[in-house]
A and B are shown apart, each in its own frame.
Chain A
Amino acid sequence: MAGKTAIIASNGSLFDAYKVYNIATAAAASDHEVAIFFTFEGLNLINKEAYEQLALPEGKEQMAEGLRAANVPTIPELAEMAQELEVKFIGCQMTMDLFGLEKDAFIDGIDVGGAVTFLDFAKDADVTLTF
């Protein structure tokens, strides 16, 4: 492995999803070991229903057309690609409980853990990012 990248995804709009998944797939394609910790609204990015229809930020709704025109992959496509590249997805147990969501509300192949699970991965990461 060329490096290690640790990402916290704590926001849930479509733009947030692109920021997280683009960096994660680019890092994994550069042979980094990558883990994403999805917490609070960031859980939308791996929620089976929500991640198909993430909202654009308020006032940016007109950009939906631009995203299609730019031939940008959809979020489910990017999430699948990230998993193919062996990016590790960690759902935050505490926020899942807070929102009343069980593991089956989320896409397959995720781990569920707490802050310490992420910190253990991140403690010797070369790159740490928060979105």
Chain B
Amino acid sequence: MNADKVLDAKGLACPMPIVKTRKEMKDMESGQVLEILATDKGAKADMTAWAKSGGHELLDIQEEGGVLKFWIKKG
């Protein structure tokens, strides 16, 4: 999937993946897609909840060799 920006949050513990995602998203335009890489297992539920509460669209989640990949479209 194409992303406008990629955020590498691998190795970071909660709540850092969310804090960093929020920071990246703030500088993006509505409709742009951010790809986030994370190894924090809690991020799966947290990213989903964060996107929902912020009015963003979680396009997809994939898992590859212990790395979670999220694609979130800014609302």
Interfacial residues, chain A to chain B (CB-CB below 8 A): 2, 22, 25-26, 29-31, 70-73, 81, 85
Contact = CB atoms under 8 A, between A and B. Distances in A.
Interface of B: 11-16, 18-19, 21-22, 46, 50, 53-54
Given A29-B19, A81-B19, A2 B53 contact: yes
A61 B52 CA distance: 38
A73 B13 CA distance: 8
Which secondary structure characterizes the binding site on chain B?
helix
Given A2-B53, A2-B54, A29 B15 contact: yes
Given A81-B19, A85-B19, A29 B13 contact: no
B15 A25 contact: yes
B12 to A, nearest CB: 6
A29 B22 contact: yes
A56 to B, nearest CB: 17
A26 B13 CA distance: 12
Given A2-B53, A26-B46, A72-B13, 19 more contacts: A22-B14, A25-B19, A26-B18, A26-B19, A29-B15, A29-B19, A29-B21, A29-B50, A30-B18, A30-B22, A30-B50, A30-B54, A31-B22, A31-B54, A70-B13, A71-B11, A71-B12, A71-B13, A81-B19
13 contacts: A2-B53, A25-B19, A26-B14, A29-B15, A29-B21, A29-B50, A30-B22, A30-B50, A31-B22, A71-B11, A71-B13, A72-B13, A85-B19
